[in-house]
Structure 1
Amino acid sequence: MPVNVSSETVKLSLGASSVEVALKGATVISYVHDGRERLFVSSKSDIRTSDSTAIRGGVPLCWPVFGPPPSDNELFSKLKQHGFARTSVWEVADQQDSQEGVKVVFKLSPTEAIKSVFKLPFTLTYTVDLRPYTLVLTLHVENPSSAVAALPFQAALHTYFRLPQGVRPPDVSVDGLENLAYNDKVSGEQKVTERRKEVVVDGPNGEIDRVYFRAPNELVMRFKGQAETVKVTKSGFADAVVWNPGPKKGSTIADMEEGGYDRYVCLEGCQVEPFVYLDPGKDWTGTYEVSFDQ
């Protein structure tokens, strides 16, 4: 069967490719393409819906905030880092199988638990679309027409790309970020201009954590000594994040497997600045597509 729904996960299959999605957070926890696993998930992660913690790895969905919630807005004062979408249990709303591929649509609406930390109404739909050569992830946000206020939010698809055998984070570079302004969360610098054509995934103690603003809709990740590249094509998400904690900080992450920081690089499509403000009856869509080129 192209779609297999269990009590904890949904698996999509298409030829030799497959995608597995945990119902907790609608988190993509596996993407097998061309016989290889392309995503990193820490072995210490708990994918069960009965567990309240976020999954470390795969593609966690950050919403309605990215990073720590802003301290100057009471609406977000009860939220944890990256919001509640990545820890909430989503429902399967639809599934489709066609010549173009296999897709499953997940849905999240306010539950009593969500209402206790976030008072505004919303509807989120998240489509995981497995195609012969690509994986397409689409987040759709709606503010109901019955709402009495605008819906503000940030969003990110926090993608952990598994590195090829023998490749470490400092062997990875990203094209497409030259001349962009970025905030550096490691140094604390704000609105610095990137002057490099290829941004190497390295920094103080090996750590890099940057938000690049108004990033182009196509970014390419390259691996030293490897012909294959990862191409990310996005729309709706204005910004991009490059992140790896490095060995010093990575070894302090409680749910990170031993040495796990050396096995992935995050290159994510996100909407960080400014917040999106959706008026009642309006919607927003962000799409993130992953493909591999030789």
Structure 2
Amino acid sequence: MSSERVSVELCKGINGLDKVVLREVRGSSAEVYLYGGQVTSWKNDHGEELLFVSNKAIFKPPKAIRGGIPICFPQFASHGSLEQHGFARNRFWTIDNDPPPFPTNSSNKAFVDLILRPSEEDMKIWPHSYEFRLRVTLGSGGDLMLTSRIRNTNTDGKSFSFTFAYHTYFSVSDISEVRVEGLETLDYLDNLKEKQRFTEQGDAITFEFEVDKIYLSTPTKIAILDHEKKRTFVLRKDGLPDAVVWNPWDRKAKAMADFGDDEYKHMLCVEAAAVEKPITLKPGEEWRGRQELSAVPSSYCSGQLDPQRVLLGS
């Protein structure tokens, strides 16, 4: 890996927490905190921040960091005795210096491999042995890729099941100017209506009030169009059949201590997820789930062109 092309640096972040900074030769960058294995920044080659992190985010364990890309594992939402969205997002991950080979070409890409294993305390609340490997990659065009590999390492012969989400907070200019394409006509579970099942009616999703929906059997590609910034985020996913769309709107925003009252206007969560049908692994089995994010000029919409062509044409 030639040093003038990419760089990977371990340094201190907010409150002295360790973070890894990935830089790509054209100027794009990403930051990953070892606390939570959480991406907290993704900037394009103009230095513009593409992810939302609240000004009131608390970078202090055991509180999860509000914004960026929290990882929800071993559950999305809250069931039983486990905390909301599981515990992966408020554990300290370690840098994995000896990962098994990833089936991806990593030349000319800045990346870091992290690993999470359960502590004795974790085993008390979720009695399963696992290895969770996460690779965060900044591609040569500034694309951001997260690849998760979760392996069941139980020695007692027991399977385990989990749900999962990359809880991605996109930075948007104004939520009322944003639309999401690729989820129209699909069924969704509405978390604001006790998870009742509905079918999406609009030809694109727009935002005028609180939204908290789990779209089912979604396509591998979703587009988030920010009209004011003339920017489209393209989310591609693999191994993650569902997609969560969330904006807390004003009342919920005011109720969250680590979220500014008006910040809901400048963020939107669209999350690659596996929620409806939990993933079950037998001992020795491994699951892989991947999310790739790119930001392209917003002449692109989901049904049209390959975004790579849009990038080349712009």
TM-score (ref. length: structure 1): 0.90
- Establish whether residue 237 from structure 1 lines up as the match of residue 240 from structure 2: yes
Gaps of 5+ in 2: 13-17, 100-104, 298-314
- Establish whether residue 155 from structure 1 lines up as the match of residue 160 from structure 2: no
Count of residues in Structure 1 that have an aligned counterpart in Structure 2: 279
SS at match of 1:271: strand
Distance 1:292 1:66 in 2: 26
Residue in 2 aligned with 1:123?
131
Residue 135 (structure 1) shift = 0.5
Mapping 1:209-220, distance limit 5 Å: 209-220=212-223
SS at match of 1:249: helix
Residue in 2 aligned with 1:45?
57
Give the root-mean-square deviation of aligned CA atoms. 1.8
Mapping 1:262-277, distance limit 5 Å: 262-277=265-280
Cα offsets for 1:76-103 (capped at 9, x unmatched): x331000000000000003999643111
Distance 1:22 1:95 in 2: 19
- Establish whether residue 18 from structure 1 lines up as the match of residue 24 from structure 2: no
Residue in 2 aligned with 1:193?
199
Cα offsets for 1:179-218 (capped at 9, x unmatched): 211011123352201122201133xxx2001000111000
Distance 1:143 1:64 in 2: 12
Distance 1:21 1:95 in 2: 19
Distance 1:188 1:277 in 2: 25
**Closer, same or farther: CA 130–95 of 1 in aligned 2, 3 Å:** farther
* Contact 1:145–1:282 (8 Å) recurs in 2: no
* Contact 2:117–2:132 (8 Å) recurs in 1: yes
Opposite residue 218 of structure 2, the aligned amino acid is: A
Distance 1:9 1:112 in 2: 25
* Contact 1:228–1:293 (8 Å) recurs in 2: yes
Which of the numbers 43, 54, 57 marks the counterpart of 1:32? 43
Distance 1:189 1:59 in 2: 24
- Establish whether residue 141 from structure 1 lines up as the match of residue 150 from structure 2: yes
SS at match of 1:250: helix
SS at match of 2:276: strand
Residue in 2 aligned with 1:90?
93
TM-score (ref. length: structure 2): 0.85
Gaps of 5+ in 1: 70-76
* Contact 1:140–1:286 (8 Å) recurs in 2: yes
Which of the numbers 187, 190, 197 marks the counterpart of 1:184? 190
**Closer, same or farther: CA 272–108 of 1 in aligned 2, 3 Å:** same
* Contact 1:95–1:103 (8 Å) recurs in 2: no
Which of the numbers 27, 38, 54 marks the counterpart of 2:64? 54
Distance 2:113 2:187 in 1: 34
- Establish whether residue 65 from structure 1 lines up as the match of residue 75 from structure 2: yes
Distance 1:104 1:95 in 2: 11
* Contact 1:63–1:82 (8 Å) recurs in 2: yes
Select between 252-261 and 97-106 the one with higher mean Cα deviation: 97-106
SS at match of 1:267: strand
Cα offsets for 1:240-277 (capped at 9, x unmatched): 01100001111111111342211100011000011111
Residue in 2 aligned with 1:6?
11
**Closer, same or farther: CA 86–145 of 1 in aligned 2, 3 Å:** closer
Distance 1:239 1:12 in 2: 28
Distance 2:262 2:190 in 1: 24
